[in-house]
Amino acid sequence: MSVSQHIIDDTLRTPQGEDAYTIVEKLTDAGFDTWWVGGCVRDMLLGRIPEDIDIATGALPEEVKVLFPKADMTAAPVGSVRIPLRKRSFEVTTFREDDAASNGRHPEAVVFGTREQDAKRRDITVNAMYWNPISRALFDPFDGEADLKERLIRFIGDPAIRIKHDALRMLRAVRFRATLHGQYHPETYRALQEQAPLVEILSGQRLREELEKMLLCPHPDRALEDLWELGILQRFLPELAECKGIPQPADYHHEGDVWDHTLMITRAFTAEHGIDTRLAALFHDCGKTKTFSLKERIRFDHHASISAELAAQALSRLQMPQRRREKICWVIEHHMMMGSFASMNDERKSHWYYHPWFPELLQVFWLDIAGTDPADFSLYEEIVADEQHFLDSHPRPPKPLLTGEDIMDALGIPPGEEVGKMLQTLYEAQIRGEIATKKEALARMKGLGADRTDSAQRGA
């Protein structure tokens, strides 16, 4: 299963392949042992042209910087540098040892080491392969190639100890098993089950980044199922884990309970669905766990707003930036509005159809249906047609050329009524076609600002 000649040729012909070759060549010529490593080697062995090529080297970051003066030492984790070439940049990491005590929390404590030590600190065998684009040699100290052939996800070293050193490796193992359509090595699986509670010590930020990668990977449903089965999800996202066993009205949801519905939605993700849409879809029904009642049929009254509240709590825990959290929760809160749009008057319609987050709301409507059996898209199609008709007859108003912040910065004034008035005046000038660029808006604003200073001085 070695890297096939045609994948080598095709990869080296891509711009990133050419550039990553050049970097290895230059470092090798200067006497430093340098290799492609990790995901790119895994991809090439699988017969895929890698998108990102990471490089590992015996050169210290300062030494890399001497050869590549444009290298940025602050744009990469400690012990790595980022080399910008053409439109991309490459992460070049100095061989290092495992940081046994860090649990990913003290990335500043880096101990440089040999290539062998560098391989030992990596998470799973299929991620610890090195390929040299010049000699074409494969350095594969843990038989990653054999594991890849069997699609085995196997921790390097003692799995329990490696998880204790960095618990994020549990989530990574789950993601790679989903991505590679793989299976766990028995000892890896046992360690994941036993160490599951350690997920609680991870920082919100690292958990969020990994959750986002999982939702963007080819089979998020598989990853979520594994997290549940391993007892990780209950500690990581209890509001989602509780969806299992919450029944839905049988007539409308042949797919099963709330958890089954959520998984079916994640199976319907397409390349068009951005990460915020995916997160909103993931949490959109978690409020059903708190609102279940059996009336004339199973009902979940007000579940959309409860789901939004629970999602807000989960996303805060995950240190989601506020603006994105607001957007995701707004979409969740309004996901039950599908029936209301066509009967609205134009003013109400304009509120929704011009809303900057409406596209994500529409995507969640679509996903909600796609995750339901039987799926009925008729109401969704009505909304899209109505929106299109509305936008054709009421073109979207242009975006203001300047923001309040631009005005405050340029004039050095604090927030307040004056900024609002200035925004309004400039926007009216823009609608009348008197100004069309940011530069013209700034010039007009300076004129207005000068009037203001004059009158203030006259008044003084």
Binding site for ligand ATP (CB under 6 A): 38-39, 52, 54, 122-123, 127-128, 166, 168-169, 172
State how far the Cα of 1 lies from the Cα of 171, in Å rounded to an integer.
Answer: 27
**Residue 52 or 143 having the CB closest to Mg ion:** 52
**Residue 42 or 327 having the CB closest to Mg ion:** 42
**Residue 83 or 243 having the CB closest to Mg ion:** 83
State how far the Cα of 22 lies from the Cα of 31, in Å rounded to an integer.
Answer: 14
168 is in the binding site of which of Mg ion, ligand ATP, none (Cβ under 5 to 8 A by kind)? ligand ATP
Interacting residues of 348 by C-beta distance below 8 A, sequence separation 6+: none
**Residue 48 or 421 having the CB closest to ligand ATP:** 48
Q: How far is the CB of 50 from Mg ion (least distance, A)?
A: 9
**Residue 52 or 386 having the CB closest to ligand ATP:** 52
**Residue 52 or 194 having the CB closest to Mg ion:** 52
166 is in the binding site of which of Mg ion, ligand ATP, none (Cβ under 5 to 8 A by kind)? ligand ATP
Q: How far is the CB of 209 from Mg ion (least distance, A)?
A: 12
Give the nearest residue (CB) to ligand ATP. Answer: 39
Q: How far is the CB of 332 from ligand ATP (least distance, A)?
A: 27
Q: How far is the CB of 217 from ligand ATP (least distance, A)?
A: 8
Q: How far is the CB of 162 from ligand ATP (least distance, A)?
A: 8
349 is in the binding site of which of ligand ATP, Mg ion, none (Cβ under 5 to 8 A by kind)? none
Interacting residues of 208 by C-beta distance below 8 A, sequence separation 6+: 315, 318, 319, 320
Interacting residues of 234 by C-beta distance below 8 A, sequence separation 6+: 228, 241
For residue 190, what are the CA distances in angstroms to 56, 186, 198, 230? 31, 6, 14, 9
Buried b / exposed e over 423-441, threshold 16 CB at 10 Å, is: beebbebbeeeebeeeeeb
**Residue 118 or 239 having the CB closest to Mg ion:** 118
Q: What is the DSSP letter of 124?
A: B
Q: C-alpha angle 232/234/240, rounded to 5°?
A: 115
Q: How far is the CB of 72 from ligand ATP (least distance, A)?
A: 18
Q: How far is the CB of 158 from Mg ion (least distance, A)?
A: 25
Residues composing the chain:
460
Peptide bond into 374 cis (omega under 30): yes
- Is residue 10 left, alpha or beta, with left meaning phi > 0 and alpha meaning psi from -120 to 50? alpha
123 is in the binding site of which of Mg ion, ligand ATP, none (Cβ under 5 to 8 A by kind)? ligand ATP
**Within its chain, how far is the Cα of 180 from the centroid?**
19
360 is in the binding site of which of Mg ion, ligand ATP, none (Cβ under 5 to 8 A by kind)? none
